[in-house]
Amino acid sequence: MADNRRPPFTDEEVVMNAAARLVFSASRYDQIMPLLHRLHWLRAPERISFKLAILAFWCLKGLAPTYLTDSLQHVADLPGRQRLRSASSADLAVPQIYTSSTVGDRAFCVAAAKIWNSLPSEVTSSVTLSTFKQNLKTDLFSLSFPGT
């Protein structure tokens, strides 16, 4: 049972939920998901994915600082992987982390690569930042509010 529970609210979620309630003059006992949907706001996990995906986009376009850009590599750029089917995709190589999984998965190079690889090709093939943001938010919004 404990494995299925959602982790406690982050500070960002508390502030975002309070802001949504303030906009709609809602009580603290009203459900928050319909309010976030009406505002077209992403839930906190998808919002974090949104920000990481934008950073990854900047890195791949050469617009980010070099210490971030150097941490992401396309699968096709790795030695011995040029002939694999994945080399023709826009996937990023996910580095193998030898520390504890919770700490290692939070590293930018791991988290950004996993998020980038989970995005559909319609999003990752965007040329400009504005179209990338639009396609990314549409995709993440459908994850936040399935069936809408």
What's the distance, CA 102 to chain centroid?
A: 17
pLDDT value at position 4? 42
More confident residue, 76 or 134: 134
Same domain, 2 and 59: no
Domain residue limits at 34: 1-41
CA distances to 16, 18, 21, 65 from 11, in Å: 9, 11, 15, 28
Give residue 46's region: left, alpha or beta (phi > 0; psi -120 to 50): alpha
56 pLDDT tier (thresholds 50, 70, 90): very high
Same domain, 50 and 123: yes
Give residue 124's region: left, alpha or beta (phi > 0; psi -120 to 50): alpha
93 pLDDT tier (thresholds 50, 70, 90): confident
Same domain, 116 and 71: yes
Q: pTM of the predicted model, to two decimals?
A: 0.81
Same domain, 61 and 105: yes
More confident residue, 21 or 5: 21
Query: 80-89 — which CB contacts under 8 Å span 24+ positions?
Result: 89/121
* CA–CA dist 112, 60 (Å, integer): 11
| CB contact at 8 A, 66 and 97 | no
The domain tally of the chain equals 2
113 pLDDT tier (thresholds 50, 70, 90): very high
pLDDT value at position 124? 93
pLDDT value at position 3? 38
Same domain, 90 and 139: yes
